[in-house]
Structure 1
Amino acid sequence: MLTRLIAFAGGLAAIALVVPDLVSSYLDRPDTKSSQQAAASPTPTTASYAAGKAVVLEADRSGHFTGTFRINGRSESGLVDTGASTIAINASAARRFGIAVGSLSFDTRAQTANGIVEAAHISLDRVEIGGITLRNVEAMVLPDKALSGMLVGMSFLSRLSSYRVEDGALHLVR
């Protein structure tokens, strides 16, 4: 009888140790549907301002502002980065945008989060998001290994009438 009681108490103790971790990991796990929606680039909201057109990008879970941009007529998800001097794209994206990467001169050194890399200066014919369109926007092409996505930097932002963060949203005004 004592052996059964000790075994039962040991089993309860083991359960008491394991269950909180299981419950915690279950509650901390993101909902699959929500995760897939969060991973997709949000659709920018277009708004009208007295001064012109505006696009509002909501911050993602990490506090970053991403949106679907159209570069030379092709859609691409981009991360808005005020710390980037120009729009930065990798070679694969450049090819999708119709840029002949093989004829580019990678003669510029660019500082990235991953270190210094060789890059090529280009001008993008057209960059769009929502109702905002800019033409002849300075950009840099980087090797694929140096950049996994597109960064939308100051060569785009500085040509807007204004941009600001307010209530967890980035307002781009043209």
Structure 2
Amino acid sequence: MLRKLLILAVFAGTSASIPIVYQSNPQLVENLLRSAVPGKQAVEAQPNVNLASVPNKPAAPLPMGRKVLVAADERGHFSSPFKLNGRQVDGMIDTGATLVAINISTARRIGLSLNASDFNREVNTANGTIKAAVAMIDRLQIGSITVNDVQTIVLDDRALRTNLIGMSFLNRLDKYQVENGTLLLVQ
């Protein structure tokens, strides 16, 4: 009886640690699963790359189905690669920004065509009042989360160096919360 309880305890402990191992190294778990399936060729485990050693490069979000975790950088900001209209763009999630805010260079890169006359809105920024244009992003994606038709504001490159993913995106999610240095996004 004691032997069965011990085996059951080892099995339960191992099973409980699988999600933790998957979150820290999903490639390792996927390779282990592939090697366990008969008739399929096992793929060698990929080396674990430490993204923290890459300067000024935001860590990619960890996808979890329709949930995404974004780790805070060394400054405490939640920076991550996004896809705007299918193009990869780095941005910072900013709950203080009413709208998604991108600069003119990013707008051009993602296919937004703006004229000088489109810059007819005044926006108050930390650096003063500037002219801006309102536009729509067809598709904004982070990890497995996709939101269509997101309102954005376009600012001059000198006024906005970092693209900001604001509340016009976050309000369309089921949930977002900060806990233990990570931002959880749920759709």
TM-score interval, normalised by the smaller of the two chains:
0.7 to 0.9
The answer to whether the 8 Å contact 1:38/1:60 transfers is no
Please report how far the alpha carbon of residue 115 of structure 1 lies from its aligned counterpart in structure 2 after TM superposition: 1.5
Count of matched residue pairs:
138
Give the one of 95, 108, 112 matched to 2:125.
Answer: 112
Which one-letter code corresponds to 1:156 in the other structure?
F
Please report how far the alpha carbon of residue 102 of structure 1 lies from its aligned counterpart in structure 2 after TM superposition: 2.6
Runs of 4+ in 1 over 4 A off after TM superposition: 33-36
1: CA distance, partners of 2:149 / 2:178: 26
CA-atom RMSD, angstroms? Answer: 1.7
Q: Does 1:152 align with 2:165?
A: yes
Identity %: 42
Give the one of 56, 59, 65 matched to 2:72.
Answer: 59
Note the residue ranges of structure 2 that are not aligned, 5 or more in a row. 1-49
1: CA distance, partners of 2:54 / 2:103: 25
1: CA distance, partners of 2:52 / 2:147: 32
Q: Deviations over 1:57-102 (max 9, x none)?
A: 0000000001100000000000000000000000011000011123
The answer to whether the 8 Å contact 1:59/1:66 transfers is yes
Structure with larger RCO (C-alpha < 8 A, sep 6+): 1
The answer to whether the 8 Å contact 1:71/1:97 transfers is yes
- Indicate how the Cα distance of structure 1 residues 142 and 166 shifts in structure 2: closer, same or farther if over 3 A, else same: same
> Alignment partner of 1:126: what SS?
strand
Note the residue ranges of structure 1 that are not aligned, 5 or more in a row. 1-32
Partner of 2:59: 42
> Alignment partner of 2:108: what SS?
helix
> Alignment partner of 2:74: what SS?
coil
TM-score, structure 2 as length reference: 0.70
Partner of 1:84: 97
Structure with greater proportional strand content: 1
Highest CA radius of gyration, 1 or 2? 1
Partner of 2:142: 129
Which one-letter code corresponds to 2:114 in the other structure?
V
TM-score, structure 1 as length reference: 0.75
